[in-house]
Amino acid sequence: MLAFPIVLIMILGTALTNAFDQQTVAVGEVHVLYKDKVDGAFSEGFKTFAKEAKTSGVHFKKILSDTDGKQEIKQGNYDAYLEIENSGIKLYQMDKNSMKNSIIQGMLTAFANRYNAAQEIIKAAPEQAGAVLGDIPGDHYIKETSLSSDRKPNSMDYYAVTMTTLIALYSALSASYLIRGERLGKTADRLIAAPVHKGEIFAGKLIGNLVTNGLCIFAVVIFSKYVFKAYWGDHLALVAAVLFSIVLFAVCLGLGVSYLTRTGEAAVAIINVLIPLVAFFGGAYFPVEGAEGVLALIKDLSPLTWTNEAIMNIIFADDLAAGLPVILLNIGLSLLFLLIAVVSLQRREGL
């Protein structure tokens, strides 16, 4: 249990070093054509915004009267075409998923939000409007976050996280054997015959398994941190909490499946099919990008996807808010599986 993730981190982290070389993607200049159909504050605000955007490499050009804006973007002369009206801004683009168009959409949304905010402020305190719409030193419409953070995960960092969460998920296998092992070893009868409530036996087994797997995960983290020099960030307590939540989820999953299936073999088979699938789409072996349709759905349903993403965000983007939703989600699902196990235990004679 301990050696497996450590060996995997070492092998994958070493073998796939080149795959995690830090690369930059050049987006290039962004050219946007626009038609201003209105006058007044909105138009003025947009002009200020267009001027500011130029510093970020986004160039807005007012359309000539005889030019067809939509035709221009079809021909690829511009990246987007805008029509500014009293009711708002209409945006025309060819490829909605390209990086350039994402930048334009983001900037326009930021501008619209700010303009709307200013309108509300003007109603309440007109003297403050300039502070919102005017030039603010250091103001941006594009906020750079993790994409240009000081540190990006190298292969060892990546596999330290993904292998640890993968092994945490494999706790389901040992958990599925927790009660079944007592039945198979015939010790279940002796336990039930003892003056101990079966709820206590169940809780004892659950807590014991959680502690064992939790300690194992802790050991993997410490080993990868100090021996492989994997980077676990500055918020280790929060990372540990997320890791413990996935251990809890895995243990409850294993228990739930063991009570849902008639035989131990069936429980093991289900877990042995489920975990590799969840691991593959959850990015345990390599980052899964660009998945669409069913594959994207499977990826999103993988507990490793949300757990790995949260841990990566905490470690590499100092995004502490990423931890709590995942912890709550993992605990919620754990309670669901635990409920299945407890209800089955109560209905069953014996363990």
Residues of this chain that interact with other proteins (CB under 8 A) are: 185-187, 189-196, 349-350
What ranges in 125-195 are assigned the alpha helix state H? 129-133, 155-169, 171-176, 178-184, 187-193
Identify which of residues 127 and 349 has a Cβ nearer to other proteins in the complex: 349
Residue 332 or 350: the one with the smaller Cβ distance to other proteins is: 350
Q: Rounded CA gap, 259 and 241, in Å?
A: 27
279 with 128: CB under 8 angstroms?
no
Residue closer to other proteins (CB basis): 157 or 182:
182
206/254 Cα distance (integer angstroms): 11
Cβ proximity to other proteins: between 235 and 264 the closer is 264
- Least distance to other proteins, CB of residue 266, Å: 22
Element housing 273 (H / E) = helix 264-281
Q: By C-beta, is 31 or 205 nearer to other proteins?
A: 205
Q: Which of 330, 280, 343, 325 is nearest to 303 (CA)?
A: 330
Shortest approach of other proteins to residue 208 CB, angstroms?
13
Q: For residue 52, give both structure tokens.
A: 């500011």
Non-local CB neighbours of 271 within 8 Å, separated by 6+ positions: 172, 173, 176, 253, 254, 257
Give the E-state strand segments of the chain in sequence order: 30-36, 58-62, 80-85, 88-93
Closer CB to other proteins, 61 or 197, in the complex: 197
To other proteins, the closest distance from the beta carbon of 350 in angstroms equals 6
Report the candidate in 92, 86, 49, 88 with the shortest Cα–Cα distance to residue 68: 92
Q: Are 169 and 278 in contact (CB under 8 A)?
A: yes
The Cα 114–Cα 132 span in angstroms is: 7
| DSSP helix/strand/coil, 261 | coil
CB of 6 to other proteins, least distance (A): 24
Shortest distance, CB of residue 194 to other proteins, whole angstroms? 4
Min dist. Cβ of residue 181 to other proteins (A): 10
- Residue 185 or 293 having the CB closest to other proteins: 185
The residue (of 193 and 321) whose beta carbon lies closer to other proteins is 193
> Residue 78 to residues 38, 85, 96: CA-CA distances in angstroms?
22, 20, 14
DSSP helix/strand/coil, 152: coil
Min CB(193)–other proteins separation in Å: 5
Residue number, 80 or 216, with CB nearest to other proteins: 216
Instruction: Provide the minimum distance between the beta carbon of 204 and other proteins in the complex, in angstroms, as a whole number.
Output: 10
Place of tokens 């410490």: 222
Shortest distance in whole angstroms from residue 170 CB to other proteins = 20
